Structure 1
Amino acid sequence: MIKTIIFDFGNIFINLNIEAAHKHALETFEIERLSEEMLAFNSFYEQGLISTDEFLQFYIENFPKLSREDLIDIWNYMLKHFPKKRLEFLKKLKSSSKYELILLSNTNELHINYIKDNVSFYEDFKNCFDAFYLSHEINLVKPNQDIFEFVLNENKLKAEECLFIDDNTDNIETAKRLNINTWHINPENEDVVNLFETKKHLF
């Protein structure tokens, strides 16, 4: 029986366009691919191992033609619409008191600040969760196993009583290895609001 539902954030609640954002970054930087150093800095930032100022300074030094504001815009380009129906679904789920609700997201400071500024109901959304974990705040990232173990231990959960919802294959595979039930959601044709129809066998 499922007692706890663990949700990813991007492409579960807020829509992302990662492919378009990557293309936009390459075109603006006038490069063919992100360097290993850039990928490393992006990862450090997602884990909260470097500050926003350190992260932006790295890019300013590498792309001096671009302003700090330009770089922030490039970084946040992937963040799209947050359909209100998903908040309503979550609020209804919260009010039922049937499940413990947890958010577990690879999210950095610039992204969450953008969401706070542009999603008018962000606080309502956050308040629906019993625990709210962002990678840069806990210094852990998916798909590493330790972030899942952290959530299980911190909340005294049994893996087999949890359902984890994410759009990323690697994240789903790690959760499965720990005996967590999963829904590998396809944002192209699936929506979290249909959880109980799509995964009715678990409930």
Structure 2
Amino acid sequence: MIKNLLFDFGDVFINLDKQGAMQNALELFGIKEFSKDMIRINEQYEIGAISSEKFLEFYESKFPKLSRKEIINAWNYILKDFPIHRLAFIQQASKKYRCFLLSNTNEIHIDWIKNDWGIELYNDFKSCFEQFYLSHEIGFRKPNKDIYEFVLHENKLNASETLFIDDTKENTDAAKKIGFNIWNNDPYKQDVVNLFSIKKELF
């Protein structure tokens, strides 16, 4: 029986444009693919191993013709709208289940969301979750095993009583290996508000 709901953030609650953001970045930087050092710095930033300042300095040094504003705009290009009906969904779900958020994200993205949504809406959303885990604050990232074990240990959860919802198959596959129930949602065809009908066999 499911007692706990563990949600991803992007493409579960807030809509993302992953493909568009990648294409936009490649065109802006004038490259065909991200280099190993770019991938490494992005991952370090995502777990809070480097500051926003160090992250931006890296890109300013690598692409000196670009302004800091252009780099930030390219980084935030992925972030789109938050359909407000999803707030009502999580407000209701949190009355019946222990709800947690677990997101691979970073300070610049969160700052954009707070500004775009307004701090009142952001806090209303955040308050629906018992814990609001952001990778840059806890030092772990999906799909590494340690991030799931961290959530289980910190909150004394049983994986078999927990449903993990994430749009990235690599993440749900990793969670399934340690006993979580999973829903690898398709953000193009499915909406999290339909969770209880789509996964009705679990409830």
User: What TM-score range do you get, normalising by the shorter chain?
Assistant: over 0.9
Rounded Cα–Cα distance in structure 1 between residues aligned with 2:24 and 2:51 = 24
CA separation in 1, counterparts of 2:177 and 2:28?
39
TM-score calculated relative to the size of structure 2:
0.98
Q: Which runs of 5+ in 2 are unaligned?
A: none
C-alpha separation between the residues in 1 aligned to 2:93 and 2:169?
25
Corresponding position of 1:77: 77
Amino acid aligned to 1:25: A
| Matching residue's letter, 2:35 | S
Residues of 2 paired with 1:128 and 1:98: CA distance? Answer: 11
1:128 aligns with: 128
Q: Cα offset for 1:141?
A: 0.2
Pair 1:93 & 2:89 matched: no
1:23-57 alpha-carbon deviations (Å, 9 max, x no partner): 00000011111100000000000010000000000
Which of these residues, 97, 100, 103, is aligned with residue 102 of structure 1? 100
For the residue of structure 1 that corresponds to 2:163, the secondary structure is: strand
Paired-residue identity, %: 54
Q: What is the rounded CA distance, in whole Å, between the counterparts of 2:146 and 2:33 in structure 1?
A: 30
Q: How does 1:173-192 map to 2 (within 5 A)?
A: 173-192=173-192
The one-letter amino acid of 1:119's match is W
Matches within 5 A, 1:23-172: 23-94=23-94, 97-120=95-118, 121-172=121-172
RMSD: 0.6
Runs of 4 or more, structure 1, over 2 Å off, are none
Q: CA deviation at 1:9?
A: 0.0
Distance 1:24 1:160 in 2: 40
Alignment length, in residue pairs? 201
Deviation at 1:91, TM superposition (A): 1.0
Q: Unpaired runs of 5+ in structure 1?
A: none
Provide TM-score, normalisation by structure 1.
0.98
After superposition, give the CA deviation of every residue in 1:1-25 in whole Å (9 maximum; x if it has no partner): 1000000000000000011000000
How far 1:175 sits from its partner (Å)? 0.5
